Amino acid sequence: MKIFSEFKKFLIQGNMVDMAIGFIFGGAFSTVIKSLVDNVVMPPVGMLLGKADFSQLYISLNGENYATLAEAVKSGAPLIKYGQFINDIISFLILGFVVFMFINAYNKLKTPVEEAPAQPEENILLLREIRDSLKK
């Protein structure tokens, strides 16, 4: 029964709760970033690259040609959806940049902890005492 009490203590500790909250907010933040990439970033990028919609790019592994990705998926064809992979990479890079900016701003807002001046070693203090006594 000791293992259960240790497990309960582990779950109730503040660090575990903080981590769970972090995961929840991370999931919600990921959804917002995905929406940003899909709905704001990718349309202009696709337009600059000849109105390409990256999410619709794929390679059919069975050698057949399909008019759309939806048609290929509906037929059950084996596909490499590299367009979605490109979208996911862009989303990851944007998420990484946003997290970097938040951490950078947080570090700038933190008040620096002033360190106490280092105390000289004991032998240095003794030598100073000897010096001061010889001056008298």
Distance, CA of 19 to CA of 102 (rounded, Å): 18
Distance, CA of 92 to CA of 90 (rounded, Å): 5
Q: In this structure, which amino acid lies at residue 15?
A: N
Number of other residues whose CB lies within 10 A of the CB of residue 36:
15
Q: Does domain 2-135 have CATH number 1.10.1200.120?
A: yes
Query: pTM of this prediction?
Result: 0.54
**CA dist 27 → 31, 33, 65, 68, 93 (Å):** 6, 10, 36, 30, 16
Q: What is the separation, in whole angstroms, between the first and last Cα of the chain?
A: 73
Distance, CA of 34 to CA of 29 (rounded, Å): 9
One digit per residue, pLDDT tens: the chain, 136 residues? Answer: 788 887 777 767 767 777 778 888 888 888 887 788 778 877 787 778 776 667 888 888 998 889 888 899 999 999 999 988 887 887 788 777 877 888 888 888 877 767 777 788 888 888 888 898 888 7
Which residue's entry shows tokens 């709760």? 17
